[in-house]
A and B are shown apart, each in its own frame.
Chain A
Amino acid sequence: GAVVSQHPSRVICKSGTSVKIECRSLDFQATTMFWYRQFPKQSLMLMATSNEGSKATYEQGVEKDKFLINHASLTLSTLTVTSAHPEDSSFYICSARDAASGGAGNEQFFGPGTRLTVL
């Protein structure tokens, strides 16, 4: 149980285009999903917290108009990188918190990640 999927796993796009990444909780409901960015050999940096049915909360320094997050259902959140540039190339990872877990443990389940390369 507690599986999170991401699609696509790898995407290459041209500079100036937009890319959408999907994050799905396959066997549980996720009221909260998180989006992280990871540069090579570095840690995960939280970009935003996505709550189902409401606007995402972005971390300081993250451009909300560039990284559009939608969490329209309890099992799906999407991250759209708009007008992508080479500096947006990175590994993007989502995680989901099981709504049924309440506050205990705060465990998040991570997706396998999406490698974005902008040419």
Chain B
Amino acid sequence: SQKIEQNSEALNIQEGKTATLTCNYTNYSPAYLQWYRQDPGRGPVFLLLIRENEKEKRKERLKVTFDTTLKQSLFHITASQPADSATYLCALGGGTSYGKLTFGQGTILTVHP
């Protein structure tokens, strides 16, 4: 069955450093991958989309890579700030999923001042 694993349940970094979050998947050939941010008590909010034929996408301080050979996506937040503290979810879709996404369990990021 499809399986998505996000690195370590929690990641703690110092303000100003780059946070790198990992999303690995097995038994799946996604056409695209999305990253979401979720704050406590709130629904996830879409951040970035990357398709299988794209290696890298950027948006302001965010960068995502997608390696279909390694079956892995990396999500980077540069110059991190305490306000970036949240849970980050990766989600895979495509093929016969018709818009339905399969989510990972998320990584809790805490940026310390």
Mutual binders A and B: no
Q: Taking beta carbons and an 8 Å cutoff, which residues of B are in contact with A? A: none
Interface residues of A (CB under 8 A from B): none
